[in-house]
Amino acid sequence: MENKQNMLMPVSIIIAGLIIAGAIVGKDFLPKNKAETAKESSTVKTSTTAPAQAPQTAVDKFKEYAIELGLNAEQFNSCLDSGRYNGRVDETSKEANALSVNGTPTFFINGKILVGAQPFQIFKAVLDKELGITTDYPADIKEDMDSLKNSNYFSETVKDIPLSDKDPIKGEAGAPVTIVEFTDYQCPFCSRHTMEVLPQIQTEYIDTGKVSYVIKDVPLTSLGHKNAPKAAEATHCAAEQEKYWEMHNKIFETQSAWSVL
């Protein structure tokens, strides 16, 4: 009997061990109660990443510029979001159409049309003649002037350009010469003129009281310049806080950043 009992004890221990192990392992396969399920669901939700932010728009950039320029952001944003000046932009676009302006930048110098982002010496030749400083165009530029005339990029025929107190103006209103620029903020040639040539015109002619400079908007949406109208509106909204030219320059300087949005 002793030997039989000694043989049975290990078997009973093994069976007991298997039962306990099965209980432990089987625990992971038992159906979860509601509390456990809810806890795991909560854990999954809190571990997910936050949704991506909406892509930035051109309007967002203009609002950033307003802050950079020290404008009252709430006032500027309200103005831009309301579309307060879209009627004004439409109005100047109609003026451009009436004058057969179909490209930008287009200038009227005392009513004489000059088309394109011309170099400073072209402007100087026309302005000096208008001011009576010279009686004809300089010899070294006369061929260029003839070429511009032949291509209809320049004409000495004077057109009546309507001006309004709503038009942004740089310089003295009663200056002997008035330059009116029809511009598109998404036009790369307009940007080049603003950055490279306008500062020279300002130094030599505007700051000396010889020229007044007026801007009129003509966004060429037909060329895919979908952000140009809102850019024009942004300058007028900035004008409410006497920062028209600062916004005008900022938008042109950063054209590559917002025009693609």
Read off the pLDDT of residues 211-234 as tens digits, 9 standing for 90 and up. 999 999 999 999 999 999 999 999
Whether residues 125 and 25 share a domain: the answer is: no
Q: Is residue 125 part of a domain?
A: yes
CA-based nearest residue to 144, from 162, 164, 160, 124 = 124
What is the pLDDT, as a whole number, of residue 51?
59
Better pLDDT: 3 or 85: 85
Using alpha carbons only, how large is the chain's radius of gyration in Å?
36
Q: How far apart are the first and last CA of the chain?
A: 94
Whether residues 113 and 229 share a domain: the answer is: yes
Task: Answer whether 229's CB lies under 8 Å from 180's CB.
Answer: no
Model confidence at 53, pLDDT cuts 50, 70, 90, reads: confident
Whether residues 99 and 194 share a domain: the answer is: yes
Whether residues 158 and 197 share a domain: the answer is: yes
Whether residues 206 and 166 share a domain: the answer is: yes
Better pLDDT: 9 or 116: 116
Whether residues 38 and 67 share a domain: the answer is: no
Model confidence at 63, pLDDT cuts 50, 70, 90, reads: very high
CA-based nearest residue to 76, from 247, 197, 253 = 247
Percent of the chain whose pLDDT exceeds 70: 80
pLDDT tens-digit readout, 143-166? 999 999 999 999 999 999 999 999
Whether residues 11 and 106 share a domain: the answer is: no
30 pLDDT higher than 50 = no
Number of domains in the chain: 2
Model confidence at 28, pLDDT cuts 50, 70, 90, reads: very low
58 pLDDT higher than 70 = yes
Q: Is residue 215 part of a domain?
A: yes
What is the spatial distance between Cα 171 and Cα 166, in angstroms, rounded to a whole number? 15
Please state the rounded mean pLDDT for residues 11-37: 43
Q: Is residue 19 part of a domain?
A: yes
Question: CB neighbours (10 Å) of residue 134?
Answer: 13
Please state the rounded mean pLDDT for residues 239-256: 98
Whether residues 189 and 87 share a domain: the answer is: yes
24 pLDDT higher than 70 = no
For 92, 194, 234, the CA distances from 250, given in Å and listed in that order, are: 21, 10, 11
What is the pLDDT, as a whole number, of residue 251?
98
Domain that residue 43 falls in: 2-47
Please state the rounded mean pLDDT for residues 39-67: 72
Q: Is residue 53 part of a domain?
A: no
Better pLDDT: 128 or 42: 128
Q: Is residue 180 part of a domain?
A: yes
Percent of the chain whose pLDDT exceeds 90: 79
Q: Is residue 251 part of a domain?
A: yes
What is the pLDDT, as a whole number, of residue 54?
74
**Predicted structure pTM score:** 0.80
Whether residues 71 and 42 share a domain: the answer is: no
For 91, 171, 238, the CA distances from 245, given in Å and listed in that order, are: 20, 12, 8
Q: Is residue 189 part of a domain?
A: yes
CATH of the domain at 166: 3.40.30.10
Whether residues 29 and 132 share a domain: the answer is: no
Task: Answer whether 122's CB lies under 8 Å from 145's CB.
Answer: yes
Q: Is residue 142 part of a domain?
A: yes
Whether residues 127 and 248 share a domain: the answer is: yes
Phi and psi angles of residue 179, each rounded to the nearest 5 degrees, phi first = -105, 125
Whether residues 103 and 199 share a domain: the answer is: yes
26 pLDDT higher than 90 = no
DSSP lists the bridge partners of residue 213 as: 170, 179
